[in-house]
Structure 1
Amino acid sequence: MDRSTFTGLFLILIILVGSFYLTKPSEEEIKKEQQRQDSIALVQTEAPKESLSDSLAQQSQLATEVDSSTMRGPFGAARMGSEQLIVLENELIKAEISSKGGRVKSVEIKGDKTFSGAPLILYQGDQNRFGLIFTTSENVLINTNDFYFQSQGDNNNYIVQNQDGKELTMRLSYNANQYVDYVYTLKSNSYQLGLTIMTKGLQNIASASTKELILQLATSLPQKEQDLNDERQKSTAYFKELNGDVEDLSTTKDDSETLPSKTEWISFKQHYFSSVLINDNGFDGGDIKVMTSTNDTIVKSFVANVNLAFNKQEINTYPLHFYFGPNKFHTLKDQGHDLEKQVYMGWGPMRWINRLVTLPVFNALESLNWSYGLIILALTILIKIALSPLTYKSYLSMAKMRVLKPEMDQIKEKVGEDNQTLLQQEYLKLYKQAGVNPMGGCIPVLLQMPFMMAFFFFFPNLFELRGESFLWMKDLSTYDSLISFSTVPILNLNHISLMCILMTCATLLTTWYNNAVSGAAGQMKYIGYIMPLVFFFVLNSYPSGLNYYYFLSTCFTFLIQFFIRRSVNDEKIHAMIQANKKKPESAKKKSTFQKRMEDYMRQQQQKGQKG
């Protein structure tokens, strides 16, 4: 590989490595920011029971302290009670509805487990809040999360299998004609839990100035994956403007956003699972916040306050629905509402490569019911075959430069290294006579770079690999640990990945072969060995599926280059170059690079003459 190729690749790799480390917050920064946030949001170490939002929620909690005066206030009879749980369950999810707040207390995703093998509970217990907030005509702040609802009908659990669905109504009563209903519906084989909020007679309870109700959601999501730091880096809040685009908050620091005036949905997204609240008519604005917890069992905490338009009429109805499920691209896409945009596929051309090429090919291979290790193998082979013309063109260009090297050395010896302008002019004449483009080996490599980088985003966000094993790798969605040890502070290293070692060794072998073929020397030679070692520390904690792909890709690249090397005859290339030298200048086609270099050299000559 020539100097230009190495220089281009080196700069690209430096940018990647630099951006990775510069955007990653330190533990000290996370803890410092968390301390600041503690003044406005409570994230307790075991089970947060207070509000995670602002003073509005804090006032609500104070307003619900039980004493003789509050018992006589609005919904006073519902301020005390005992919690009862009713289960809504189908083939995919199991949701517990609590009489305390009438809210969804916990959701289990069936068929999935945490990294430790425990049932996968999306969120649970008092780590989540859900309630309507408004002020009464007596200037009492109400948060329905703190009141006890009553189920309408029996209190039996509902199991939905191969049925149209079940409905559960939880009611917060003021009197027989004034109440708030949460109507839950669950259909068979669905990750969606319907929720219709209906208020009756509330216009006579709420203050005259009330134009909207605030619906508050807050939760702290427990760890589900092996690598907590990686799970935090891929967890944040998302929202979508009605008839607009999907937006997300920062993944690397605490963040908050004011929601658009019409917001279609909000989402609390963990790495591989999401809790989404959807309003087809749109919420009337609000705010959303995400915070990193200092608790080593909590990934992040989320708070959202969304507004529901309140009309001064007998009945107000708000049809909503939840999505509780995996961040699997096609599963999210089937829900509608652009939920699949929560699956990060990279930026710029990498996103379109993954969505239009990689994902369809992967799904086609998945339909063959192979193991995912074999699917990645087949995907690698197909990609390498598709890119082989570029690989061949790159190698052929490097072979031409290798054949020209003796003549370039003669020119360098004759002209010397002191006058770089003259040296480049002589090189340019040689390139022109031989019909060789010195950038011809670099351009095909750069064209392949987006495909290589696309997988850097594809595999770490691919739900299908979660929990899938291959060879010694127990889970392709996270790192394989050959050796584990106490964390090394400077390197932030607590394990060694065997697949990452194999990938690094394969890259070093390929670099050695390229150096031997191209005759690279000096700093170019050593850069090729340094970069794989740098990337070992970067990729050591990345999914074993990604390192497995890079290992296969490097091995196939080595084989392709080996066979191309055997098929390319340097003597024929030399004869072709010599024949091209004998052609008249008018018959030689100049490359864009040659034209630009000629213009540059001409400008340098003019400056030298003026000087």
Structure 2
Amino acid sequence: MDKNSITGLLLITAILALFWWMNKPSEEDLAERKRQLDSINRVEQLRAVEAEKNVQAESEDVTGEQQSQQNNKDSARIQAAGILAPYIKGEQQFTTIENEKIKVTLSNLGGRIYSVELKEYQTHDGRPLVLFEGNDNRYGFNFTYNTNIYHTNDLYFDVKKQGENSVSFEISGADRENLSLTYSLTDDANMVEHHISAENLGNKFDVPRNALDLEWYQKMPAQEKGRQFETQYSGIYYKFFQNDVDDISGNSSGSEDLRTPVKWIAFKDQFFSSILISDENMASAFVETTVIEDETNPMLRINQAEAAVPFDFSENDEAQMRFFFGPNHFYTLKAYEDLDLHQILPLGWGIFGWINRYAVIPVFNFLEGFIGSYGIIILILTLLIKLVLFPLTYKSYMSTAKMRVLKPQIDEINERIPKDKAMERQQATMALYRKAGVNPMGGCLPMLLQMPILIAMFRFFPSSIELRQESFLWATDLSTYDSIWDLPFEIPFYGDHVSLFTLLMAATNIFYTRINQEMTQSSAQMPGMKGMMYMMPIMFLFFFNQYASGLSYYYFVSTLITVGQTLLIRQFVDEKAILAKLKANQKKPAKKSKFQARLEAMQKQQQQVQKAKGKKPGKK
């Protein structure tokens, strides 16, 4: 910057400083300005206070008017309510009835069951087992009075305790009108009697279609450690009058419109149920269940049912109903023989259900009477089943042994007949089996006959409340998975833990597969089958990791016993004697059965068709 520019900037700065000093206000001017600002602020504050008072006054006028209007409405509503007027407002009161098994808390608001606790059970984390509580359970019905619609859930009933375990909630009028909802509990039972009655209400109360439209809503809490399988084994079950039991269950939501008479509706958890039973049947019903997908939610499902129960106020009518609150225990439910409540247990259809009902459960119950450890009971049950199936196991082994000693002759056939003549190879092999008296299906048939028992046990263990919270070895609860290592992450299709019983089951199946392959020639004929046979135990490892540890333990012990039987039979079977007998059979004239004759005829016909297709057009 040059000298002239610096001189110019200094002159401008000096001029601005002189101008500011000449125009600077005096102390008197500053004081006057402050007084003016204070006066303006006071005026604005007064205006704000006055405006607030005006708004408040206007608000009080509006509120007073609204309150007056509301009071008039309430007065008109109470006047229209007639005999219901004393029951529209009130204070909620609770009454308890209980026995050795259940504790039922009742509320005068709605005259309904407020909560139910099963005293003999606890949740997986040691809390009291409460089926529902508070507004998580709502039960009642609508009715019409003086053209207005009322719901029992909105009314405060009078409480009249009729006995030690019997409570009646009543609405009564001056002319002996009475609506009564009574609940009674007998000693040592899970059944709560529920009685609805009406007197002298024919010209006052009314319901559509001469039926009480009962509404039952319930949030089902999660009680078990394994939420996935608790959801799978829960849902809504219902029994049609003089018909089978049907359900909406599993891991999906659903609804059903039931247009035929229904005997009962059950809100079923994996091990516990709430069941509404009507003695006179429900004319129709609508049921709906919604699965709560959020795994952090303490609730598992939302169940609701609407049912039409025949009822006529003009006839001083009454409806007799019952609630079952208790465990899904086969013999507990079976005690109500006429109701078929035991059919809510998913024991399997057809032969699988029969095996569980008439074999597995009776034996299990018998052993339960004098053995305290359920792990030992499962072991004994497995030994008994394997003992019964031993003839089939022996027959299967002998069939495999016969085919194994014939392997050199089968290899000779395969060397003699080229691969492109597969049909001819098969015919020669079948001819060898027929001459030797060997049934190639002899090893598969015994295994096939054992499958119903394996499937029946698959259905029994996850639904057996006897195993719930029963420990054995490292498993703290045989009704759910056993975890020896909780992973800090989740493996797809496997889970976030390691089940030792599942590992042992998979290991024994791999060992058994290896023994079978050593005893058969299938690996030589079909090399690809060797890897496929080992895939099944690996699949079990993933599939059963979330299942009940009691089931994995049963399959582990069962396979282990089968391995032992196989090794034991091998020690007492002379394969040289078997081969000598088969060679002697080959020298005898073979007799064809009708089935073999038809099979050979079909094979010859198939060969002719293949030859005809192989000829070129025009060639003779």
Decide whether the 8 Å contact of 1:86 with 1:97 is kept in 2.
yes
Q: 1:68 to 1:482 in 2, by over 3 A?
A: farther
Q: 1:202 to 1:486 in 2, by over 3 A?
A: farther
Q: 1:269 to 1:208 in 2, by over 3 A?
A: closer
Partners of 1:201 and 1:492 lie apart in 2 by 64
Single out whichever of 373-382 and 433-442 deviates more from structure 2.
433-442
Q: Answer yes or no: is 1:102 the counterpart of 2:111.
A: yes
Structure 1 residue 369, shift from structure 2 partner: 3.0
Partners of 1:219 and 1:252 lie apart in 2 by 18
Tell me what 1:71 maps to. Answer: 78
Single out whichever of 487-496 and 184-193 deviates more from structure 2.
487-496
Query: Percent identical across equivalent pairs?
Result: 39
Please point out which of 547, 571, 574 is paired with 2:576: 571
Per the alignment, in what secondary structure is the counterpart of residue 532 of structure 2? helix
Decide whether the 8 Å contact of 2:407 with 2:521 is kept in 1.
no
Per the alignment, in what secondary structure is the counterpart of residue 314 of structure 2? coil
Q: Which has the higher contact order (CA 8 A, sep 6+)?
A: 1
Structure of higher CA gyration radius: 2
Please point out which of 540, 543, 562 is paired with 1:538: 543
Per the alignment, in what secondary structure is the counterpart of residue 417 of structure 1? coil
Q: Answer yes or no: is 1:528 the counterpart of 2:533.
A: yes
Partners of 1:366 and 1:605 lie apart in 2 by 61
Q: 1:576 to 1:292 in 2, by over 3 A?
A: same
Partners of 1:312 and 1:95 lie apart in 2 by 29
Per the alignment, in what secondary structure is the counterpart of residue 138 of structure 2? strand
Per the alignment, in what secondary structure is the counterpart of residue 202 of structure 1? coil
Decide whether the 8 Å contact of 1:236 with 1:249 is kept in 2.
yes
Decide whether the 8 Å contact of 2:239 with 2:245 is kept in 1.
yes
Partners of 1:149 and 1:463 lie apart in 2 by 38
Please point out which of 154, 157, 176 is paired with 1:149: 157
Q: Answer yes or no: is 1:327 the counterpart of 2:334.
A: no
Q: Answer yes or no: is 1:82 the counterpart of 2:91.
A: yes
Tell me what 2:607 maps to. Answer: 605
TM value normalised by structure 1: 0.84
Structure 1 residue 486, shift from structure 2 partner: 4.2
Partners of 2:592 and 2:198 lie apart in 1 by 78
Single out whichever of 521-530 and 576-585 deviates more from structure 2.
521-530
Q: 1:591 to 1:328 in 2, by over 3 A?
A: farther
Partners of 1:206 and 1:560 lie apart in 2 by 74
Structure 1 residue 103, shift from structure 2 partner: 0.5
Tell me what 1:131 maps to. Answer: 140
TM value normalised by structure 2: 0.83
Query: Counting helix residues as a fraction of each chain, which structure ranks higher?
Result: 2
Tell me what 2:17 maps to. Answer: none
Decide whether the 8 Å contact of 2:494 with 2:546 is kept in 1.
no
Structure 1 residue 408, shift from structure 2 partner: 0.8
Pairs within 5 Å for 1:368-517? 368-488=370-490, 490-491=492-493, 493-517=495-519
Per the alignment, in what secondary structure is the counterpart of residue 555 of structure 2? helix
Tell me what 1:316 maps to. Answer: 317
Partners of 2:486 and 2:250 lie apart in 1 by 27
Partners of 2:489 and 2:233 lie apart in 1 by 21
Decide whether the 8 Å contact of 1:135 with 1:210 is kept in 2.
no
**Partner deviation per Cα, 1:298-352 (whole Å, 9 max, x = no partner):** 1111111111223252511101111100000000011230000001111232111
Per the alignment, in what secondary structure is the counterpart of residue 72 of structure 1? helix
In the alignment, residue 214 of structure 1 is paired with which amino acid? D
Partners of 1:126 and 1:266 lie apart in 2 by 20
Decide whether the 8 Å contact of 1:465 with 1:545 is kept in 2.
yes
Structure 1 residue 294, shift from structure 2 partner: 4.0
**Partner deviation per Cα, 1:414-443 (whole Å, 9 max, x = no partner):** 111111111111111111211111111111
Structure 1 residue 598, shift from structure 2 partner: 1.8
Q: 1:525 to 1:591 in 2, by over 3 A?
A: farther
Aligned length: 533
Please point out which of 564, 567, 586 is paired with 1:581: 586
Which structure 2 residue ranges, 5 or more long, are not aligned? 1-72, 614-620
**Partner deviation per Cα, 1:234-277 (whole Å, 9 max, x = no partner):** 10111112222211113232111122432111111011001011
**Partner deviation per Cα, 1:18-62 (whole Å, 9 max, x = no partner):** xxxxxxxxxxxxxxxxxxxxxxxxxxxxxxxxxxxxxxxxxxxxx
Q: 1:210 to 1:576 in 2, by over 3 A?
A: closer
Partners of 1:441 and 1:370 lie apart in 2 by 38
Partners of 2:582 and 2:255 lie apart in 1 by 63
**Partner deviation per Cα, 1:490-520 (whole Å, 9 max, x = no partner):** 3251111111111111111111222222254
Per the alignment, in what secondary structure is the counterpart of residue 156 of structure 2? coil
In the alignment, residue 525 of structure 1 is paired with which amino acid? K
Structure 1 residue 208, shift from structure 2 partner: 8.1
Per the alignment, in what secondary structure is the counterpart of residue 398 of structure 1? helix
Structure 1 residue 460, shift from structure 2 partner: 0.6
Partners of 1:284 and 1:252 lie apart in 2 by 29
Decide whether the 8 Å contact of 1:432 with 1:590 is kept in 2.
no
Please point out which of 336, 345, 348 is paired with 1:346: 348
Structure 1 residue 174, shift from structure 2 partner: 5.2
Per the alignment, in what secondary structure is the counterpart of residue 249 of structure 2? coil
Partners of 1:487 and 1:174 lie apart in 2 by 65
